[in-house]
Amino acid sequence: MKRLRPTSKLFVILLALVGAGLLLTSGGRTWVTGTVDDPVLGSSRITGTGTELATGVVALALVAAAAALASATSGPVVRRITLVVLALAAVAEGVVAVRIALDPEQSLGAVAARALGRTGSIETNASPTSWPWIAVAASVLLLLAAVGGWFGAGSWRGLGARYEAPGAAAGPRGQRVASDWDRLDAGDDPTVRDEPSST
């Protein structure tokens, strides 16, 4: 079985989709749990999911997945741009997840304040679950996919010659050779190969 290189198109796309999938999954999971002692709420337990604490987590995951898929089907210039977008989405996701994991009280306090119709944050005692760190790991996967894609993009092929716009194809000595599109225009079926003549 052929081993996948970290810079191959298949490896990069799979890695990016795994990272984006983890981030999408984490959006609905509890990132922070804690308690709040408030005159209105009283002493109560409160939790915050990924989408409540980091509103852009799902959107950035979708952007990352779309950028990875676009890099697999585009030309060299657009491919580089989409890989940069993938890297930026990964960094943004990582920064948000680390901030929540390191300061869960502030993040959960904002959720509690919104629940009461207030602005700002309410003082809470909070601790992160494993999900913010899983989101950080997923962001690292996205970043690795972007880096691998950047170094391997030069050797990637697009969707294939059959999907590319017709143009003049060059033979081994530079002479013009009819492309499959040209043969179709002429009424010839390019999928049927010429049989060698028998003498």
Which pLDDT score, from 0 to 100, does residue 134 have? 96
Beta bridge partners of 37: 43
Which pTM value belongs to this model?
0.73
CATH number for 9-159: choose from 1.10.3470, 3.40.390, 1.20.140, 1.10.1740.
1.20.140
Q: Where in the chain is the domain with CATH 1.20.140?
A: 9-159
CA–CA gap between residue 25 and residue 131 (Å, rounded): 10
Which pLDDT score, from 0 to 100, does residue 16 have? 94
Our CA dihedral for 69, 75, 79, 82, rounded to 10 degrees, sits at -60
CA–CA gap between residue 43 and residue 124 (Å, rounded): 10
Determine phi and psi for 184, rounding to 5 degrees: -65, -45
CA–CA gap between residue 29 and residue 48 (Å, rounded): 8
Please check whether residue 127 is in contact with residue 54, taking contact to mean a CB–CB distance below 8 angstroms.
no
Q: Of 6, 1, 3, which is closest to residue 152 (Cα–Cα)?
A: 6
pLDDT in tens, the chain (199 residues): 456 788 888 899 999 999 999 999 999 999 999 988 777 666 788 889 999 998 888 999 999 999 999 988 888 888 999 999 999 999 999 999 999 999 998 888 888 888 777 777 788 888 999 999 999 999 999 999 999 999 988 888 765 544 545 444 555 555 555 666 667 667 777 677 655 555 4
Which pLDDT score, from 0 to 100, does residue 2 have? 58
CA–CA gap between residue 23 and residue 34 (Å, rounded): 22
What is the total residue count of the chain? Answer: 199
Which pLDDT score, from 0 to 100, does residue 161 have? 45
| Residue 53 parent element (H or E) | helix 50-53
Which pLDDT score, from 0 to 100, does residue 171 have? 54
CA–CA gap between residue 154 and residue 83 (Å, rounded): 12
